[in-house]
Amino acid sequence: MERLEAALEKAREKRREAGVDEKAILGPESRVPVLKSEWSDLTEIKITSRVARNNRITAISGNPLAGPYDMLRSRALHIMHEHGWKRLAVTSPTVGCGKTTIAANLALSFARQQDLKIILFDFDLRRPSLHKVFAHRTDHSLSDVIDGKVSVADHFVRYGENLMLGLNAKAAKNPSELLQSQRTKEFLAAIEASYKPDIMMFDMPPMLVSDDNVGFLVNVDCGLLVGAADGTTVKQLDLCEKELADLTNVLGVVLNKCRYSDSELGYDYEAEPY
Ligand SMILES: Nc1ncnc2c1ncn2[C@@H]1O[C@H](COP(=O)(O)OP(=O)(O)OP(=O)(O)O)[C@@H](O)[C@H]1O
Ligand SMILES: [Mg+2]
């Protein structure tokens, strides 16, 4: 725990150095509001085996299909602890590379470590889909919470004891402006101060489709770039990795949707991810 605290302080320090610490973000007059923040008060959702099967959720429990996500989790945790990074964005060059699937599974894999508290946000505000992956219908969206129309406690749900989910009912009206707004910074600072997560994960839109990542990534410590073996070109990956490195720290690049043969897994096994 002491190591974690030290890592968290390092992350804050790094954001301070980058000029994005809470005070700098919020301005001298602003205060981070204290939210009602009992994890146990949040509505609990379950994932049925049918939903898990249909939506490629494999990391709920330790099993061979969770293996690649667990490996990604361990590597990510190692690097994040080492650098004191706490906020992780998941993005890709183009649509459909598997960002949302990977973000959901990685969050579930993190959550199997009971000493970690994770908040996963659906910040693909143009085409939100995390609610579909978790098969949870919600009445509101993160834009409503950021605009103060609904409270975090009423909107966020939890899976198990230590994974909190911020989902969307529909697309936001002004995603780009919202993602780079002061009130989004304040919202993140407030939720971080109140719920005290160890890791905050953000499922983002693709980088080559809009400027949403450009405006938002100043709020995170690192980014994971997901490419699809069946669709992303090396040029796209290269371009986006450079752009990501300009915007935040690159945690790594994941090549998803690979097909390879492995005698143990069976010929033509479809990897998830790698
Ligand atoms: N490793 C994989 N192998 C095969 N299909 C996959 C894999 N990972 C994800 N998919 C499927 O690919 C589709 C797109 O996945 P997902 O929605 O996670 O991608 P995305 O990058 O978030 O897309 P978008 O850009 O639209 O948000 C989904 O149908 C998902 O089930
Ligand atoms: Mg997605």
* Per-domain boundaries in the chain: 2-270
For residue 9, which amino acid is it?
E
- What is the C-alpha to C-alpha distance for residues 88 and 66, in angstroms, rounded to an integer? 20
Which parts of the chain sit beneath pLDDT 50? 1, 4, 21-28, 263, 265-272, 274
Task: Please work out whether the CB of residue 15 comes within 6 Å of at least one atom of ligand 1.
Answer: no
Residue 93 Cβ inside 6 Å of ligand 1? The answer reads no
Q: Residue 24: what pLDDT? A: 43
Contacts of 211 (CB under 8 A, 6+ apart): 176
pLDDT at 35: 73
Q: Say yes or no: CB of residue 99 within 6 Å of ligand 1.
A: yes
Cα 66 to ligand 1 centroid, rounded to whole Å: 16
Give tens-digit pLDDT for 53-110.
Answer: 999 999 999 999 999 999 999 999 999 999 999 999 999 999 999 999 999 999 999 9
DSSP 66: G
Give pTM, 2 decimals. 0.87
Q: What's the rounded Cα separation, in Å, for the pair 222 and 212? A: 16
Ligand 1, pocket-test mutation among 58, 72, 92, 100, most atoms within 8 A of CB: 100
Architecture of domain 2-270: 3-Layer(aba) Sandwich (3.40)
How many CB atoms sit inside 10 A of residue 20's CB?
Answer: 15
CA of 198 to the centre of ligand 1 (A): 26
Q: What is the pLDDT of residue 259?
A: 80
- 10 three-class SS: helix
Which residue is it, tokens 């602003």? 30
Give distance in angstroms: CA of 48 to centre of ligand 2: 21
Q: Which two tokens stand for residue 126?
A: 């143009």
Distance, CA 269 to ligand 1 centroid (Å)? 16
